[in-house]
Amino acid sequence: MTASGAVEQSDPELLTIDELAGTTGMTVRTTRYYASLGLLPPPVRRGRMAYYGPEHLARLDLIRALQDHGFTLSAIERYLAGVPMTASAEELAVQRALLTAWKPGQWDPVTHEELEARAGRRLSDDDIDWLLQAGAVRRKGRAEDRAGDLEALPLVDLAMEALSLDMPIGAIVDANTAVRRHMSELADELTGILQSRVMSRYERDDLSMEDAERLERTLTNLRALTLDAIVTAFQRAANHVVTTSLSLSDDD
């Protein structure tokens, strides 16, 4: 693209709407819908044809990351309202990297029959409700009565094993509540560390795509190391509690 905004005939970074949708894994209809909502900057026009560049692709990648985090469409609109339309692909990549630093497990579509195959037995409506309350399975959209309208986390197999052991769902719900209560405070502290110790190195005007990719790899590694440290610390604390409890029982 030239400085005046004209499109170079040989510009390899420009995509048609079909190519843009295919690259992001979205449908053309969805891509057009996002554009109609003002979530994408205007395309580059060449005659009657519209073309899309790296910044459009990066913004759609950011939208996908927000969706993966459970953002509703209205929440995505509010988030992107704070991201200038003039933001470069590199700046958008940094936004996505920061957003996904503590990315949760991936939700994958699953049918009732597939869950039964993984469980090795039939699953009643009560069993599915148990998995929903445990947070291992969720409904897609609002069509709760439609077969196959489910998504599951990778830990669903562990949840189904806990279900087979007749673990009280109240214990899991209470445990999840306790974890969320303490993790919110920890997440705030970790985000502060991330912004002061890592992001500060990338806050400059000449940020390159290589810098953005390096940041994303850095955050991926940091996430893995941090989560391992959290699990290890929890295991040590839990072992200490169990050992102390057993010791008190022996004293009695």
Residue 69 shares a structural domain with residue 56: yes
124 vs 146, residue with greater confidence: 124
pLDDT higher than threshold 70 for residue 72: yes
pLDDT higher than threshold 80 for residue 28: yes
* Burial of 157 (C-beta count, 10 Å sphere; 0-12/13-18/19+): middle
Would you state the pLDDT for residue 200?
72
Pure H helices in the chain: 17-24, 28-36, 54-68, 73-81, 89-99, 112-119, 125-134, 156-164, 169-193, 209-251
Query: Long-range pairs for 207-213 at CB < 8 Å and ≥24 separation?
Result: 207/88, 207/90, 207/91, 207/94, 208/90, 209/89, 209/90, 209/93, 211/90, 212/90, 212/93, 212/94, 212/97, 213/93
Residue 11 lies in a domain: no
Residue 8 lies in a domain: no
Average pLDDT, the chain: 79
Residue numbers of the domain that contains 240: 170-246
> Is 7 in contact with 40 (CB distance < 8 Å)?
no
Residue 118 shares a structural domain with residue 84: no
pLDDT higher than threshold 60 for residue 146: no
Residue 149 shares a structural domain with residue 213: no
- Residue ending a domain, among 58, 78, 99, is 99
DSSP letters spanning 160-205? HHHHHTT--HHHHHHHHHHHHHHHHHHHHHHHHHIIIIIGGGG-ST
- Residue ending a domain, among 79, 99, 119, is 99
Residue 78 shares a structural domain with residue 128: no
Residue 182 lies in a domain: yes
Specify the CATH number for the domain of residue 121: 3.30.56
Residue 133 lies in a domain: yes
Residue 56 shares a structural domain with residue 128: no
Residue 112 shares a structural domain with residue 81: no
Residue 115 shares a structural domain with residue 92: no
pLDDT in tens, 97-129: 767 665 556 778 889 999 999 888 999 999 999
Residue 1 lies in a domain: no
Here the tokens at position 128 are 């599915």
- pLDDT confidence tier of residue 8, bands split at 50, 70 and 90: very low
pLDDT higher than threshold 50 for residue 5: no
| Interatomic CA distance for residues 116 and 151, integer angstroms | 14
Would you state the pLDDT for residue 41?
93
Name the pTM for this structure: 0.49
pLDDT in tens, 192-234: 777 777 777 766 666 677 777 777 777 777 776 776 677 677 7
Closest among 37, 83, 56, 90 to 213, alpha carbons compared: 90
Residue 180 lies in a domain: yes
Q: How many domains does the chain have?
A: 3
